[in-house]
A and B are shown apart, each in its own frame.
Chain A
């Protein structure tokens, strides 16, 4: 852990910059590109901050940042506005309530918890879409997106590792 990370948390550093990275990566992966005739996967990059921010510490700004990232994702992807905002907030809220249990666990265990959070977000998305469109999305398609998203855990781990001990009040 670098010395700079030991400083008190600056919202821009742990919330603003991460949000920006999410937005850029989502935009990059929305390009209509095929590799060897196959479509590129579409992971939900916003799941990384949704999980990591809840583990690092409770925050007033974080839910609203997730709301904005979710709305951006919905507008870019063309899904109903609010779908991903709500799904991300459901996952964030769940992780936040389990925070005391999660903090300090090993990396493989945290990866498993990240997968659980992703599953909650996908399930929420599935249910909200079912209610909104009156039709069931394909479970296979949901599973592929879930699989692509849980592979992003190393980014979440890096974020947690960097900012977890930055605020001693929430150790």
Chain B
């Protein structure tokens, strides 16, 4: 049938109008999609079912498509290793020589660290479990810098977990599904990471902008950073552990401080997902809120109150030596001046204070006769705190 005889042959104007309406409807749908999307939150439900299904499908498909390229790369690498083995051997020997010196230094420092930790009674963070994964897709445009890794819910990966390559921090997990997880790279425009300068301890926020070198923003202090300074995660906010290597500070062409990422030193094909959970993630806020408020009538029950009623205890002030005695018995250093000692053990929690404290009162005994006499009365309200500690098991 010729077009002229077709019943739709004369529909030129209506079709153009309908096409315009269709365009308008499509734009409205796209705006609605964009407004409803929240990809950078830590809430698992914010990631959305569409994205989860998309990632679950894309991960194996991309993995299969990328396999020939990966094999080719590995073959090329093997070939290169074969032809450049001698030069590589020389380089590695030199590196090993240097590393041996560093090993001795590291061992000495570790020993010192252990001693300091035991002296101070420091509670160090437990080791963080890790999951290894391979990245199967990579987006590197100006508006999104993410990767898809082939480890998901079944491996224990959760939104917020930091991701590292063998060289440094890569980003953090923003979405998890079965068999795949989405990594938001440090270079993404939505990425904000609390970091610190290793040399000065100055804090900053590493802000991605879609380029290869994210910016250092909110730097404080006078000259807090200079070219070549190491940048580490600060651990502020508890999202990331402290001390993960991020990169090196450089002055950008735009005059801003930027970071050359350590993870850029090699292809990010294999990554480690740190199954890190900070206190705020571990603690159950609802359970903490459910703590019963103690009744205001009895004395010891006033412990948790901000302003305890003063009428029930009119004169605890004159409470003299008997109240202060028990702590003195608990003090481990029975020297000639018993008074300074009880103050410390009453507030301290561990075995730490017994070592150095008695020496300082001895050094200034004649100048401080007055303070011990004042101390017992002030001890009296403090003396009510040991019973408070004793009340905690109830």
- Which residues of chain A have a CB within 8 Å of any CB of chain B? 8, 27-28, 30-34, 39, 42, 44, 58-64, 66-67, 70-72, 74-83, 85-86, 89-90, 92-93, 96, 122, 125-126, 128-129, 132-133, 135-138, 140-142, 144-145, 168-170
Contacts and interface: CB of A to CB of B under 8 A. Distances in A.
A170 B8 CA distance: 13
A84 B209 CA distance: 18
A164 to B, nearest CB: 16
Contact of A129 (B12, B32, B189): B189
Given A77-B139, A79-B144, 10 more contacts: A32-B135, A32-B147, A44-B141, A60-B19, A61-B22, A63-B25, A77-B143, A81-B34, A133-B190, A145-B141
Contacts of B142: 122, 125-126, 129, 137-138, 141-142, 144-145
A86 B25 CA distance: 11
Contact of B146 (A31, A77, A96): A77
Interface residues of B, number: 63
Nearest to A40: B140
Given A32-B147, A136-B209, A138-B209, A82 B31 contact: yes
B136 to A, nearest CB: 7
A67 B27 CA distance: 8
Contacts of B210: 137-138, 141-142
A8 to B, nearest CB: 7
Interface in B1-56: 3, 9, 11-12, 15-16, 18-20, 22-23, 25-27, 29-37, 39-40, 48, 50-51, 54-55
A26 to B, nearest CB: 10
A78 B18 CA distance: 32
A64 B39 contact: no
Where chain A touches its partner, the secondary structure class is: helix
Interface string B138-175: 11111111111000000000000000000000000010
A31 B138 contact: yes
Nearest to A129: B143
B301 interface: no
A56 B182 CA distance: 38
Contacts, number: 182
Nearest to A76: B58
Given A32-B135, A63-B23, A76-B58, A86 B34 contact: yes
Given A30-B137, A93-B27, A133-B189, A81 B51 contact: yes
10 contacts: A30-B138, A42-B139, A42-B141, A59-B19, A62-B19, A77-B143, A82-B30, A86-B34, A141-B210, A169-B15
Contact of B27 (A71, A89, A141): A89
B328 interface: no
Please list the 6 inter-chain residue pairs (A to B) with the smallest Cβ-Cβ separation, ordered nearest first. Answer: A78-B146, A82-B34, A82-B33, A79-B144, A138-B211, A77-B139
Nearest to B253: A140
Given A89-B27, A141-B209, A30 B143 contact: no
B189 A33 contact: no
B20 A58 contact: yes
B143 A79 contact: yes
B209 A32 contact: no
| Most B Cβ at <10 Å: residue of A28, A78, A145 | A78
B340 to A, nearest CB: 55
Given A82-B32, A82-B37, A135-B209, A77 B141 contact: yes
A152 to B, nearest CB: 14
Given A67-B30, A136-B209, A137-B210, A58 B143 contact: no
Given A86-B31, A135-B207, A78 B3 contact: no
